[in-house]
Amino acid sequence: QVQLVESGGGSVQPGGSLTLSCATAGFDLDYWAIGWFRQAPGKEREGVSCRTGLNGDTYYADSAKDRFTISRDAHENTVTLQMNRLEPEDTGTYFCAATHRLLLVSKLCVTPSSYENWGQGTRVTVSS
């Protein structure tokens, strides 16, 4: 059974940093893609970043480029999202998602409909 559990959310001031973690179970990260998404109140869920399993390629939405880093901790079966220089616009609930259907990085990797397995989310608030 595929399991995804996010953690690491919280409140931070603009310019601060947070590290989100997605603990995974029930599948092999070597062959599955992991995506990070966020949803602000009243807005649609949007892709932030993703990582494919086979070769570890990564993709970032424009909003995340040069600020966020997605990486895998193989020993812990965890995929993390390091977020730096946070802005109020980054506020929202962050979700990780997993799929075995994506082998190559493309914009599909940060498209919610590409994923069939989701975690419950972790809340991030960026405010002064």
pLDDT tens for the chain, 128 residues long, are 999 999 999 999 999 999 999 999 999 998 999 999 999 999 999 999 999 987 889 999 999 999 999 999 877 799 999 999 999 999 999 999 999 988 888 889 999 999 999 999 999 999 99
Phi-psi region at 21: left, alpha or beta (left = phi > 0; alpha = psi -120 to 50): beta
Q: Phi and psi dihedrals of 110, rounded to 5? A: -115, 30
Q: Which residues contact 117 (CB under 8 A, 6 or more apart)?
A: 2, 4, 97, 98, 99
Residue 62 corresponds to which tokens in the numbers above?
Answer: 């424009």
Residue 76 corresponds to which tokens in the numbers above?
Answer: 């812990």
- Gyration radius of the chain's alpha carbons: 13
**pLDDT for residue 55:** 84
**pLDDT for residue 102:** 83
**pLDDT for residue 22:** 97
Quote the CA–CA distance of 10 and 42 in Å, as a whole number.
20
Residue 77 corresponds to which tokens in the numbers above?
Answer: 């079966």
CA 28 to chain centre: 17
